[in-house]
Amino acid sequence: MDVDFTDKGLLIPRIALTGQGDAATIPSPTKSLLVYNTGASWGTAGYYYNAGTAAAPNWVRVATTKEAWMLLGNSGTSPATNFLGTTDAQDLVIRTNNTEWVRVLSNGNVGIGTPSPSYKLHVNSTSGTIAIYGYQGGSTSGFHYGVYGYGTGCLGSDKNTGVYGYAENNSGAGDAGVVGECYNTGQDWAGWFSGDVYAWDYYDLAEIYPDDGKIPDGALVSLSNPSDNPTNIRIKISSEAYDPNLIGVKSENPGIWLGPVEDAERFKEERKALLKERDNLLEELSKHNDNEEQVNSMQIKLENVEKRLSQIMNELDPKGDGDKGSPIALVGRVRVLATTENGVIKPGDPITSSNRPGYGMKAISPGPIIGFSLSELNNESGKIVVNISRTYYSPDTNTEIQILKERIQKLEKYMEELK
């Protein structure tokens, strides 16, 4: 049909659809049927066509350029009335290559890499890459933050968290909830906290020492070889009573770890160079994001840098496979191997090294101690809880006299038994 007029138009039937699946207003509407919906009962006034079937209609509005988000952008929009999203309780999904990457739930939670975000922003990376990377390349003076977390709350409210990191308990994986890195260690900080720092579940702060072989948890350790270089100092299991080189005790699971793992020095310069290269690549990407060929090349380089950094992180993981050194408790409460070599141990007793390798005992003579017992030990050996306080113990004269008297009494009793 050819409609050829210069002063007339084509009048499409005007009806009032009652819903997107309306099959009653027009019985058995043919697929692709075009109508003008007045909007009196449902929807916005405009042209609609049946994208469904005659038995199951699906009335879809024909959008105009002012009503659709165009590929080359839109003009004349108003943030008060125009938006990208849904008008019902359905999720909004963004895909590339027909694969979902971003989802906004009807409750406002945003998920990247997850279809069911549990938080306002939930980022999930399952490919071994960084889920969120914050970079600030400011060259001027002042403070510049890659990621800044701020939590605030009113009196009596729930706890508020600025940045929350969660690491899944994967077998054989060295996961981290939050990682901070810097390559200019002379001026920059990998982490900066203004306020309290809370380590939940665990009770001590420990420093990693290179060791002479595997050391069991709770064992007392001593200096193996003195050195002017902190990275060359090593420890060994203590096997001498009142060991003058006593360092401390190996923690079972510190709340906070300090110091590099064994062999960390061999990665130091490479890691520093990789961090600098990564920053340079990110800065270049921000300058040349309009050149697709350059962007693709730099992204490949960036992926390789990230991959190598991840490999080094695994090597530096103090909980990883192999002998990475021993975390020696500096302060806090630690479970310690102990023996009653010097008598029953009671709360408050000072603990020093014994002749049994790795085991502590009650100190009754002057010498170095690792701290004071918070437990009681009546058996020959076991584990006690010690409040770590590395110091030199010097019992007062009255205590020494009392100890001497007790030894004399034991000796006299033994002599009586021999008669």
Note the pLDDT of residue 235: 92
Most confident of 6-15, 16-25, 150-159, 201-210: 16-25
Residue 94, exposed/middle/buried by CB under 10 A (0-12, 13-18, 19+)? exposed
Condensed to tens digits (0 to 9), the pLDDT of residues 3-36 reads 888 888 888 999 999 999 999 999 999 999 999 9
* 249, 328 Cβ separation under 8 angstroms: yes
Angle separating helix axes 292-315 and 265-287, nearest 10 degrees: 160
Interatomic CA distance for residues 380 and 387, integer angstroms: 21
pLDDT for the residue 38 = 94
pLDDT of the residue at 343: 94
Per-residue confidence (pLDDT) for residue 338, from 0 to 100: 97
168 close to 177: Cβ distance less than 8 angstroms: no
pLDDT in tens, 48-107: 999 999 999 999 998 776 667 778 887 778 888 888 888 889 999 999 889 999 999 999
Which segments of 237-317 does DSSP mark as H helices, in order? 265-287, 292-315
In the chain, the amino acid numbered 73 is G
Q: What's the residue count for the chain?
A: 419
Q: In the structure, what pLDDT confidence band is assigned to residue 335 with cuts at 50, 70 and 90?
A: very high
User: CB neighbours (10 Å) of residue 312?
Assistant: 15
What pLDDT sits at residue 341?
A: 93
Say which range, 185-194, 227-236, 241-250, has the weakest mean pLDDT. 185-194
Residues linked to residue 227 through DSSP beta bridges, in sequence order: none
This prediction has a pTM of 0.60
Q: What's the mean pLDDT in 108-123?
A: 90
Rounded Cα distance, 284 and 276, in Å: 12
- Which two tokens mark 315? 């090597």
